[in-house]
Amino acid sequence: MADTDRGTEAIYDELSGEYELQTSPYVISSQPFRFVSVRDSYALLDRITPEEFVRDEQMPYWAEIWPAAIILSEFVSGEIDIRGKNIIEIGAGVGMVSVAAACAGGNVLATDYSEEALRFIRLNAMNNGADLRWERLDWRSIQCRDRFDILLAADVLYERVNLLPIINALGKLLTPEGCAYIADPRRRLAEQFLDLAFENEFAVQTSARSYVRDGKTIGVNIYRLSKHREGYE
C-alpha cells in the first residue's frame, strides 16, 4: 500500500469514528470519481449549540452533495477551459467541485467556513488524486490576499444574509478580468442576488441546466458574473 493510501485510510478511519459516512461513485465528464460525505446531515444538528447558531446561523449544509455541485462539477470539467487558471471555491462542502476543477487542470484553493468540511475536502482530494489546497474562509470577512481568475460556488444563495457578503467576496477575490460561476437550484433568493450583482456593476449570464435524481428533474442555473462583458471562456 502506498503512503498516500495509508494516509487516506487513516483519515477515513478517523472520520468514520465521528460520522456515519457514505461513499458514492460519480462520473463527471466521462471520468470516474468517488466522494465521501455524511450519510445523514440532519444528524449533525445536535452538534450545533444554541450559542453557535445565534453567532453564525450555520447549518450543516456542507455535509451533503447537492445537485448544484454535481452540475457545476460537470460544467467546469467539460464546458470551459480552466487549465492553468487560479481558482477558488467558496462554500466547498465536501469538495466535489474543487476536486473536479483540480482534475481538469485548475490551480484550486477549496474553502469553507466549517473546519469539519475541510477534513472531508482533504480526504476526497486524496481519494481522487486531486492536487489542490484547502483552507477556512469566512466570506463575511475576507482575509485572503490572493486574487483568482475564477471563483466557483454551488448552492450558496440559501440565506438572504449571505447575498451581499458573497457579492463583496467576488470583488475581493477576483482579478479585474476574473469571473465567477455560481450554480443555484433556482431559489427565489437568486433573483435578489442578481439584483445586487447588477447594482454592483457585474455583468451576468445565465445558463440553464437540469439534474435527474430518483426520477425527479431538478433545475439548476449557472450564473456567470464578471466586471467585463464577454462570453463564456
pLDDT band at residue 132 under the 50/70/90 scheme: very high
Q: What percent of the chain has pLDDT above 90?
A: 76
Taking only the tens place, the pLDDT of each residue in 43-73 is: 665 655 545 444 555 667 889 999 999 999 9
Which amino acid does the sequence have at 169?
A
Domains and CATH numbers, the chain: 3-226 (3.40.50.150)
Note the pLDDT of residue 84. Answer: 97
Q: The whole model's pTM is what? A: 0.90
- Please give, one letter per residue, the 3-state secondary structure of 123-185: HHHHHCCCCCEEEECCCCCCCCCCCEEEEEEECCCCCHHHHHHHHHHHHHHEEEEEEEEEEEC
pLDDT band at residue 203 under the 50/70/90 scheme: very high
- The answer to whether 81 touches 233, Cβ cutoff 8 Å, is yes
Distance, in Å, from the CA atom of 209 to the CA atom of 232, rounded to the nearest integer, reads 15
- The answer to whether 65 touches 86, Cβ cutoff 8 Å, is no
